Structures are given as structure tokens and as C-alpha cells.
Amino acid sequence: MTIDRRTLLQGTAGLVAGAALGGFAGSRGAFAQGTMPTFTPEKGASLRLLRWVPFVGGEEAAWNANTKAFTEATGVPVQIDQESWEDVRPKAAVAANVGSGPDMVMSWFDDPFQYPDKLVDVTDLANGLGEANGGWYDGLRGYATQGDKFIAVPLCAIGNAVCYRDSHVKAAGFSEFPQETDGFLELCKAMKDKGTPAGFPHGKAVGDGNNYAHWLLWSHGGMTVDENGKPAIDSPETRAAIDYAKKLYATFIPGTESWLDINNNRAFLAGQISLTANGVSLYYAAKKDPAMAEIAEDIRTTNLPVGPVGKSVELHQTSTLNIFKHTKYPEAAKAYIAFMFQPEKFNAWLEGASAYCCQPLKAFADNPVWTSNPIHEPYSRASASLRPNGWAGPLGPASAGVMADYVLVDMFAEAVTGQRSADEAIKNAHRRIARYYR
């Protein structure tokens, strides 16, 4: 079933309207009935969900199929609005603050902390889901909780990994992909010399730009704030990260400072670059196009290299499901989310996403999607390994503001392009961070 930008999924009105939805025993893992609270949709309920544009067709198809099944089971129609990744954040913020618009949103990172008082408390739902499904991964749980209260339901981590042309890496003189940042820089230099350069976004890309900027900083031991929320960006570690970023940038294809999330995909598939970091969607975009069969066969994936900090430190895109307080149908919204997390439904969605979305609940870690293709393996650890973007400080309105304002992305972009010196870029970033952490 295909859903355009605005599509209304109509169900059979007479089917179990007002049914209570709760515990479920699925085909993979049987969870005790009664561990989930039940939610009865309000009479005459209808819902509207704002979500990010999907990059994997199978993910969208599986989500839509589950939504259609919910409508058929309850009689509650669900309208799904799609927006670009960059537009979800501002549109959700407007809806929260004006008190109208979609009932629910698939949000990014710690966006719920920008308007926590505008969101429905979903602690009962989230605790029930966690207890029934092996518990939440800590990193994803942190993006959805304020103290002991859930202000959102964790949905997934969208794994980020290095995608590269194996033959081009070998042609550059590397029989194995470098696992540390020094070797990675030498690889990028050699690939540029061979006319098969790398490219990473320095533009305001919600996923790829943030993932890359945070990896640059963290891999060299830097941080935006310390454990107490005090700005800590002005450090030798940040200067080392910028110095490394400038050397990498010199090996890139021109124009990466303006790239959004779609641009590195397009450049890779067009043969303009041979190495970037992306979700598994890049591989499947090549695989589904017969004209790109050679590229698809040549793609390999691996996790980002380890820097001077001595361990793997990666961001990974995260998404949560939020219910706005302005909704007229909060019980229907909770029922919808509970339905979508039923093991049979959620496993089908994970499989449809083909390793694009990593599960937030530990009981789903054995989904066969992770072992069905070697390309998927680097993405399988996203939920367990992700570091929250506010590190090393606590998540909250300040970390959400810094992320939404692209402070870290801008700092690296300013420095690598020469718009500012390293010291000036750090000073500007410090000023902007301090504005949020007052």
C-alpha cells in the first residue's frame, strides 16, 4: 500500500470500534497477557501522525500495513503526514506551541525536551511495553524520560555506518578497511588521489551531519558540556578534532558544506564519491536499481573508526513517538502505539526496514534481519552502543536546543571551510552552548 504525503487510512467503521488494546502474544516471544495496560479509543476517535519521510520503501510499507490493521481492528482512522527530515522538528515544535495540528509525531533525538509540558504522560504505556519486552535500551530510554516519567515512547535508532566501495578501497592500496582514525585519514587521501574521493556532510543534515560532527568531537575526547552541564567545548580535544576534520575535508568532493541528508546518498549513487557514512538505505537504493547492480555488489559497511579516545563513540539517529496534549483522543493514540509494538507487528516493521531501524526494546534483538545479510551487521549495535547527543551532560531542554540549533555542525563547518579560525569557531560554539545551558 502506498501513502502519499497526506493519506487517510480508512478502516471498516463497524469493526470493533472502541476495542481495548493491551497485552499480546506474538509469533516471536510470548509475553504474558496483563503485563500491558489496556487503552480504549474514545468514541468517534481519529488520529493524525506526523512522521519523517522514509528512506526505505519496505519500512513505510510495513508501518502502513500495521496502521491499516489497527484501523480495521478498532475503526479508528489514522492520517499519516510525511515531512522531510529537516522539517519534522520545526513543524512539531509549532504544533506543540500553538496547540493544534497532528496528534502524534515521530520526533528526533531529544526534541521532546523542547516542549515536555505539551506532551501526554505515557509512563503507563512505556513501562508496560518495557516490562513485556525485555526492557528499553538505556540510550533510547534517556531520550524519552524526564526523571521517572516517560514523555515519549522510544521508537528506534537509525544506525549510521561507513558505506564504501570495496574495489575502490583496494585500488587505493588498502586490503583491509582501517579501524583507527589515522589510517582512515590515509585511506581518504589515497582515495582522493585515485579519483574516488570520500564525502561527509558539513551542512545542516539532521542525521548524517550531526552523526559525523559528534563522531569527530567524541573520537578525539571532546564534549560540548561536562557532567554538570557546564560548557566544555573550549578544549585541546576539540582543537584536535577540528584539526583532524580539516585534513579529512581536504580529501572530500567539493560542496559538502551545503549537504543535507539526501546529498551524500545522491553523490555516492552517482559515482561522485566512494565512501561516506549513512544508513543501510544507501545499499538498498543501489540494490533496487538494475543500473546500479555493480555499485550494490561493491558496497561494504563498517563502523566508524576509533580515534585517540580509544573506543567506539557514535551518535546514531534516534526517533521517539510523542503524543501532544492538544489531541482530543489520547487513549486512541496510546492504543495505536501499543498496537504497533505488538511483537508480531513490530518484528514485521523491523524486517520491512531491512536493518534501517534498530529496535528500542531488547526482546526484539533476535530479529533475523540482523543476520540475514553481512551488510546489516554494523547497524545491529546502534541501540546498544549509541551515545546521547547531550553527552557528557544530562539530556534536557538545553541539549535539545543545542542540537536543534546545529551548534556542533556549524562549528566544524566554519572551521574546515575557513569561515572562522579554529579558535574563533570554538569561541562561537561556546557562546551558543552557554546560551542554552544558563
The 10s digit of each residue's pLDDT in 309-351 is: 999 999 999 999 999 999 999 999 999 999 999 999 999 999 9
Segment 233-254, tens digit of pLDDT: 999 999 999 999 999 999 999 9
Segment 11-61, tens digit of pLDDT: 323 233 333 455 433 333 333 344 689 999 999 999 999 999 998 999 999
Please report the pLDDT score of residue 153 as a whole number.
Answer: 98
**Is the domain defined by 6-159+317-385 classed in CATH 3.40.190.10?**
yes
Fold of the CATH domain 161-314+405-436: D-Maltodextrin-Binding Protein; domain 2 (3.40.190)
CATH fold match for the domains 6-159+317-385 and 161-314+405-436: yes
Q: How confident is the model at residue 306 (pLDDT cuts 50, 70, 90)?
A: very high
pTM, two decimal places: 0.88
DSSP 376-437: GGGGGGHHHH---TTTTS--SHHHHHHHHTTHHHHHHHHHHHTSS-HHHHHHHHHHHHHHH-
* β-pair partners for 361: 136
326: left (phi over 0), alpha (psi -120 to 50) or beta: alpha
- Say whether the peptide bond before residue 392 is cis (omega within 30 degrees of 0): yes
Q: Residue 301: name the closest of 356, 261, 224, 236 by CA.
A: 356
How many Cβ atoms are within 10 Å of 239's Cβ, its own excluded? Answer: 17
* β-pair partners for 105: 50, 322
Residue 313's alpha-carbon distances to 9, 231, 298, 387, 429, in angstroms, are 40, 20, 27, 7, 21
Residue 155: pLDDT over 90? yes
> What is the DSSP secondary structure assignment for residue 41, as one 8-state letter?
P
Domain ranges for the chain, please list them.
6-159+317-385, 161-314+405-436
Alpha helices in 220-279 (DSSP H): 236-249, 263-269
Phi and psi at 52, nearest 5°, equal: -75, 150
How many CA atoms lie within 13 Å of 212's alpha carbon, on the beta-carbon side?
33
Phi and psi at 50, nearest 5°, equal: -100, 125
